């Protein structure tokens, strides 16, 4: 979960989010190098007084400063494509969870296990317990096993919503009439918070997502008590 003064990415809780953070840092490094180089060149251009009266064209330098940036961009493009395909890969999921966006709450279906289904509403501030997180906690949390491949099917019942969990690197739109798919693997136990991220109406900010990541035997216990 994001807390005070955290303006960067949240700590990852899945291997894919870890890769996303690595890619972010890699892209940022290239960006800083370009900014410094261009900044230096512009600075020097402003303050130099030399004039070459016979300069008409420079084929060679133009070749260099056209091809070189293109090559540099490939160092962003290829890792980006690698991640894109990695995120899309489905790896024999052991649990499938269907989440349906509504105005303004999520509902969930565990169709693998006697069709458990429930709604998940945000807890209003005046009903919040002292250890609860305002605008982020829900009445019915999703419980999912850690160290397992999990598939999420996302759809919506009214308008477009988006099922987004930053710590897991998951962000999938729920669109009426469509069934989108994503997957993740949680490598630690804990609570992972998310929010809808499609502007879906007046209470868009008030349909959070909470995942309880638990050991698999706890999950089996939870699922058999439901």
Give the shortest CB-178-to-ligand CUA separation in angstroms: 15
Give the shortest CB-32-to-ligand CUA separation in angstroms: 34
Contact 158, 176 (CB under 8 A): yes
The strands making up 170-174's β-sheet, listed across from edge to edge, are: 142-145, 209-214, 190-196, 161-165, 170-174
Closer CB to ligand CUA, residue 145 or residue 174?
174
Give the shortest CB-90-to-ligand CUA separation in angstroms: 25
Give the shortest CB-9-to-ligand CUA separation in angstroms: 21
Closer CB to ligand CUA, residue 35 or residue 205?
205
Q: Which residues pair with 194 in a beta bridge?
A: 209
Which residue is listed with tokens 């105005």? 103
* Tokens standing for residue 18: 């870890």
Task: Report the chain's C-alpha Rg in angstroms.
Answer: 24
Closer CB to ligand CUA, residue 156 or residue 214?
156
Q: Which residues pair with 171 in a beta bridge?
A: 164
Binding-site ranges for ligand CUA (CB under 6 A)? 101, 161, 196, 198-200, 204, 207
Closer CB to ligand CUA, residue 167 or residue 196?
196
């Amino acid at each position: 979960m994001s807390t005070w003064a955290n303006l960067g990415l949240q700590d990852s809780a899945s291997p894919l989010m870890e890769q996303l953070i690595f890619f972010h840092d890699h892209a940022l490094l290239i960006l800083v190098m370009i900014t410094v180089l261009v900044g230096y060149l512009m600075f020097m251009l402003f303050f130099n007084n030399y004039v070459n009266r016979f300069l008409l064209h420079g084929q060679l330098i133009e070749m260099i400063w056209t091809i070189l940036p293109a090559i540099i961009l490939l160092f962003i493009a290829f890792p980006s494509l690698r991640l894109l395909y990695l995120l899309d890969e489905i790896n024999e999921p052991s649990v499938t969870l269907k989440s349906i966006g509504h105005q303004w709450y999520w509902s969930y279906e565990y169709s693998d296990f006697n069709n458990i289904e429930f709604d998940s509403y945000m807890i209003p501030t005046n009903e919040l317990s002292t250890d609860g997180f305002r605008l982020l906690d829900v009445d019915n949390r999703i419980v999912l096993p850690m160290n397992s491949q999990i598939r999420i099917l996302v759809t919506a019942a009214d308008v477009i919503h988006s099922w987004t969990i930053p710590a897991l690197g998951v962000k999938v739109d729920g669109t009426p009439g469509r069934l989108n798919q994503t997957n993740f693997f949680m490598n630690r136990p804990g609570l992972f918070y998310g929010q809808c991220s499609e502007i879906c109406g007046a209470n868009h900010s008030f349909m959070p997502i909470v995942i309880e990541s638990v050991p698999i035997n706890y999950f089996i216990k939870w699922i058999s008590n439901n």
